[in-house]
Amino acid sequence: MSDAQTTLRIFSGLAVRAAFDDGLLDAFERSGIAVDVAWNPTTVIEAKIARGETADLIIATTGSIQKLVDKGVVDGDSCQPLVDACLGVAVAQGAPKPRIGSTVEFFSALKNARSVAWSLGGQSGIYLETLLAGQGLLDEVKARASTIPEGFTAEQIVKGDADLAIQQVSELMVVKGVDIVGPFPEELQTWTPFRIGIFTQSANKEAAEAFIAFLQGAEAQDSFLRNGVRLAA
């Protein structure tokens, strides 16, 4: 099969969506290799794989990929660090931005919000609920929350269902019509590392290797930095 006929199927977390939509996929596809990305939170990707679904490449959290390597699903030798994503807060475009620079200010903003949006299936939502529970605020904030099973939480702001959205900054940046307030306070912040790897049973390993090499190049790395993630160390 020639490269012109090859389509790479990728299971990817949402953290790199903004960069991929910023011309990266178009640039790679000029090589003659098509790319088909299924976008889901890591927890959903894990469930799909458990049901027997597969692809050529996976972009997911480092911990998730390591579990797949241990099971023989992903080729450990192919895995490469890609980006690290941090958590942030968004509001409607032009809306006043609450102060979130300290722990006290952050939790005050959540308490005072009409409704906060987060993803039940995403690492960001799982972590946020842990933080809220630690402050004894989970029931209060969740009672007014606009939670979603998966997807982009900032869409709830655009719909008018929430006035704050919590997610990785790069995921918030995908949605038009919102402004980024900023990242979580340093003392609450957590950086999630993402890796890329090739499925053991991929029939397109040469093309998959070419895609990994492309993402390690200057064009891709510039796009990552523009779109809310930092390069993996």
| Per-residue model confidence (pLDDT) at position 89 | 99
Q: Are residues 15 and 77 in the same domain?
A: yes
Mean pLDDT of 8-29: 96
Distance CA 157, CA 191 (A): 24
What is the model's pTM?
A: 0.90
Q: Are residues 97 and 161 in the same domain?
A: yes
User: Is 158 contained in some domain?
Assistant: yes
Q: Is the pLDDT of residue 2 over 60?
A: no
User: Is 10 contained in some domain?
Assistant: yes
Q: Are residues 71 and 132 in the same domain?
A: no
Q: Are residues 129 and 172 in the same domain?
A: yes
| Per-residue model confidence (pLDDT) at position 123 | 85
Number of independent structural domains in the chain: 2
Q: Are 141 and 111 in contact (CB under 8 A)?
A: yes
3-state helix, strand, coil in the chain (%, to 5): 40, 25, 35
Question: Which residue spans within 146-224 are E strands per DSSP?
Answer: 146-148, 164-168, 178-183, 192-198
| Per-residue model confidence (pLDDT) at position 4 | 52
**Dihedral angle sign, alpha carbons of residues 18, 22, 28, 29:** positive
Q: Where residue 3 falls among pLDDT bands split at 50, 70, 90? A: very low
Q: Which amino acid is at 126?
A: I
Q: Which amino acid is at 179?
A: D
**Structural domain of 41:** 3-84+193-231
Q: Are residues 23 and 96 in the same domain?
A: no
Three-state DSSP class for residue 149: coil
Q: Are residues 76 and 92 in the same domain?
A: no
How large is the angle between the packed helices 42-50 and 62-70, nearest 10 degrees?
20
pLDDT tens across 93-147, in order? 999 999 999 999 999 999 999 999 999 988 899 999 999 999 999 999 999 999 9
Three-state DSSP class for residue 192: strand
Q: Are residues 7 and 79 in the same domain?
A: yes
pLDDT tens across 162-179, in order? 999 999 999 999 999 999
pLDDT tens across 43-98, in order? 899 999 999 999 999 999 999 999 999 999 999 999 999 999 999 999 999 999 99
pLDDT tens across 189-232, in order? 999 999 999 999 999 999 999 999 999 999 999 999 999 999 99
- Least Cα distance to 2 among 173, 183, 206 occurs for 206
User: Is 221 contained in some domain?
Assistant: yes
| Per-residue model confidence (pLDDT) at position 60 | 96
The enclosing domain of 153 has a CATH number of 3.40.190.10
* Token reading at 210: 């070419």
Q: Quote the radius of gyration of the chain (alpha carbons, Å).
A: 18
User: Is 14 contained in some domain?
Assistant: yes
